[in-house]
Structure 1
Amino acid sequence: MALSDKMLMTGEHNIQTTRTHVKALVLPFLLLLVIAFAGAFGAAQAGDTGDGYVRWAIVAVAVVLLVWFVIIPFLRWYLWTYTLTNRRIVEQKGVLTRTGRIIPLNRINDVSYEKNLNDRLLRSGTLVFHNAADEEGLKLDDIPRVEQFHRAISDLVFEVQNTHDD
């Protein structure tokens, strides 16, 4: 889900788009299995008790839990993207209300990444951007194939800084 053409500036083009690692969906997937099993088991055990109203109440509760704990987290994950263009990094997130953050490449002084053991096993990591004003830095957590994204950003940052120095 790359940045739409209407959001691109003149002469700007998409380089790469990513979202957080799919590991963010492990808990919602496990909850899907538990809720589906418990709902089906409860509905089967209820049978036609109370003219079937108990069964439908159990199914309704299961559906609400599925929406709340599975569908909404999936949509949040799916709609939270990081797009790298030749001029900036754009973060977009939100299901009903979309928000965005833009980091111009010419403001970035340093790009680094962090990977713990879990990240190394799952081939993900955290990107950290520093500029002259930010002591703490901006962190983008759980980026899949973080080295590839880091390399692409670093190349573009050096390119932008070299064109400003000339």
Structure 2
Amino acid sequence: MAYPEKLLANDEKVVEHLHPHWITLVPATLWFVVICAAAGVGIAYAPNSGTGQLVVVVLVIVVGLFLLSWLAFSPWIRWKTTHYVFTSHRVLIRRGVFRHTGRDISLQRISDVAFTQSLWDRMVKAGTLTIESAGEHGQETLEDIPRSDLMQQTLNRLIEEDSDRRARSAYGGGYPQQGPPQQGGYPQQGYPQTGQYPPTQQYPPNQPGYPPNQ
């Protein structure tokens, strides 16, 4: 799913849109299977008829839904509503459903990007990405990032491209030229410009004995 375009500037492009690694959903999936299996067993061993059967079935359903919401559905919702977005201008972080939190980090304010991986992280291709930036909340830790090593390289590349873009913008779309100015620029002392010699003057001037007689 593409990130909402209304949050982006006119010349801003989404480079990476990430959720936490899928490995974070494995416990929730296992809990879903276990709770459903336990609910099925509870209903199967309920009394065959009467009020006891109704009470047991209702109790199993209520407890099962509570456990599913807590142990299975909540992790899935948190995963879906956690966004790590790398754009050509900044890093956007969004978390939460009822209590929504977010942070935007401009690429020019980022001073360092590091990643850490345990042995298990290397096996599943995940890791933790740490972003150091100037400001009151200087450090941001993104846990369970897919391909954290590649994301570190991607973010460093975006920082360099953003720096180059700002440098070009500061000089009107190009880098400052080196060396003496070209024709049409400001005259430089000691360098005669085109059209400065008198019309009758020749360069080099004719002098007696020039060219030498053969």
Same fold by TM-score greater than 0.5: yes
Matched-pair contact (CA < 8 Å) for 1:44–1:55: no
Deviation, structure 1 residue 2: 3.2
| Aligned ranges 1:123-142 → 2 under 5 Å | 123-132=125-134, 137-142=139-144
Q: Give secondary structure in 1 for the equivalent of 2:34.
A: helix
Matched residue, 2:97 = 95
Matched residue, 1:25 = 25
Q: Which has the higher helix share?
A: 1
CA shift in 2, pair 1:132/1:5, >3 Å: closer
Matched residue, 2:83 = 81
Q: Give secondary structure in 1 for the equivalent of 2:105.
A: strand
Q: Which has the higher strand share?
A: 1
Unaligned runs of 5+ in 1: none
Matched-pair contact (CA < 8 Å) for 2:132–2:139: yes
Q: C-alpha separation between the residues in 2 aligned to 1:136 and 1:124?
A: 23
Q: Deviations over 1:31-82 (max 9, x none)?
A: 1121111111011101335252221221221112111211111100111010
Question: Root-mean-square deviation (CA), in Å?
Answer: 2.0
Q: Higher mean Cα deviation, 51-60 or 61-70?
A: 51-60
- Structure with more contact order per residue of length (Cα contacts < 8 Å, sep ≥ 6): 1
Q: C-alpha separation between the residues in 2 aligned to 1:89 and 1:122?
A: 24
Query: What amino acid sits opposite 2:40 in the alignment?
Result: A
Q: Which has the larger radius of gyration?
A: 2
After superposing on structure 2, the runs of 4+ consecutive aligned residues of structure 1 that deviate more than 4 Å are 132-136
Q: C-alpha separation between the residues in 2 aligned to 1:162 and 1:71?
A: 44
Matched residue, 1:16 = 16
TM, length-normalised to structure 1: 0.90
Q: C-alpha separation between the residues in 1 aligned to 2:133 and 2:59?
A: 55
TM, length-normalised to structure 2: 0.71
Number of residue pairs matched? 166
Q: C-alpha separation between the residues in 2 aligned to 1:133 and 1:4?
A: 26
Matched-pair contact (CA < 8 Å) for 1:2–1:16: no
Identity fraction in percent: 31
| Aligned ranges 1:105-124 → 2 under 5 Å | 105-124=107-126
